[in-house]
């Protein structure tokens, strides 16, 4: 008998239209599963900006707000302060959060706003054709760095988790990945903890997630997962940077 995989209640039945091998569909499902596990779907409001995240309202089965490029933390701040009983999260890519939205994420984190941020890092501007992003690796070829990113000219990859970890405001900062089953499990647990901390009023949290973009990386989906392991993780190490309320065994 053919096995049927049911979508979580927090996902609509709409088929994903992401590129083959894209990590966004995996991360969407992990967020939806975490919301269902915690039983908070009726209280959740998600916020998405411009970029590959822009179609989130087609997939998530709860209220979604679309905002200008880079501004989700500002919109999330306003929503949470006016509707403190709601669970507010932003879903942002690296071209959004780490570039035009740098000021918004830093100041929301510094204020310790009681929101959850899910930051998808695929080291490229995915939707607009694969230009260099703040997270593009040294030597990585993009449409705007055809010979590879030159750190002397273009600067170095921006490590958002490490940057925010210097601030006193955040309660939880972690970097995970979706390159393997093990890391998918870790990512889901991190997403759940982020929501739980918000539910408990513990303040700002961010889960940075390394994610594949096979089309813009010019790789097969399976090779894109290996590229994360071999190239991205050494530059963006997976670990917890801040956890003010870490549970003890």
Q: Residues 70-88: pLDDT tens digits?
A: 999 999 999 999 999 999 9
> For residues 26 and 179, is the Cβ–Cβ distance under 8 A?
no
Q: Residues 14-25: pLDDT tens digits?
A: 999 899 999 999
Q: What span, in angstroms and rounded, lies between the C-alpha atoms of 180 and 178?
A: 6
CATH 1.10.3720.10: does it fit domain 24-243?
Answer: no
> What's the confidence (pLDDT) of residue 249?
38
Domain ranges within the chain, ordered by starting residue: 24-243
Six-digit token string for 19: 């590129």
Please state the rounded mean pLDDT for residues 135-163: 94
Q: Is the pLDDT of residue 201 over 70?
A: yes
Please state the rounded mean pLDDT for residues 166-173: 98
**130 band by pLDDT with thresholds 50, 70 and 90:** confident
> What's the pTM value of the predicted model, to 2 decimals?
0.95
**Nearest CA to 120 among 65, 191, 204, 61?**
191
> For residues 138 and 149, is the Cβ–Cβ distance under 8 A?
yes
Helical H segments across the chain, by residue range: 24-38, 56-59, 72-82, 94-95, 102-111, 151-154, 160-164, 181-199, 214-217, 221-227, 233-235
Six-digit token string for 62: 């709860």
Q: What span, in angstroms and rounded, lies between the C-alpha atoms of 70 and 115?
A: 16
> What's the confidence (pLDDT) of residue 170?
98
């Amino acid at each position: 008998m053919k096995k049927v995989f049911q979508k979580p209640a927090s996902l609509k039945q709409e088929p994903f239209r992401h590129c083959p091998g894209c990590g966004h569909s995996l991360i969407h499902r992990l967020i939806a599963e975490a919301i269902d596990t915690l039983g908070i779907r009726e209280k959740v409001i998600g916020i998405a900006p411009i970029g590959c995240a822009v179609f989130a309202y087609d997939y998530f089965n709860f209220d979604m707000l679309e905002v200008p490029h880079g501004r989700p933390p500002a919109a999330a701040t306003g929503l949470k302060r006016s509707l403190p009983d709601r669970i507010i999260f932003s879903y942002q890519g690296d071209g959004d959060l780490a570039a035009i939205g740098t000021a918004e994420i830093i100041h929301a984190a510094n204020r310790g706003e009681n929101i959850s941020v899910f930051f998808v890092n695929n080291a490229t501007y995915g939707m607009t054709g694969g230009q260099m992003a703040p997270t593009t690796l040294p030597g990585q070829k993009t449409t705007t760095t055809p010979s590879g990113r030159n750190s002397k000219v273009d600067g170095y990859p921006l490590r958002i988790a490490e940057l925010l970890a210097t601030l006193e405001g955040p309660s939880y900062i972690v970097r995970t990945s979706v390159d393997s089953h093990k890391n998918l499990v870790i990512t889901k647990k991190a997403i759940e903890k982020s929501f739980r901390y918000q539910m408990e009023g513990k303040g700002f949290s961010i889960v940075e997630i390394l994610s594949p973009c096979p089309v813009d990386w010019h790789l097969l989906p399976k090779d894109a997962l290996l590229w994360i392991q071999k190239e991205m993780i050494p530059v963006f190490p997976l670990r917890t940077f801040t956890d003010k309320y870490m549970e003890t065994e």
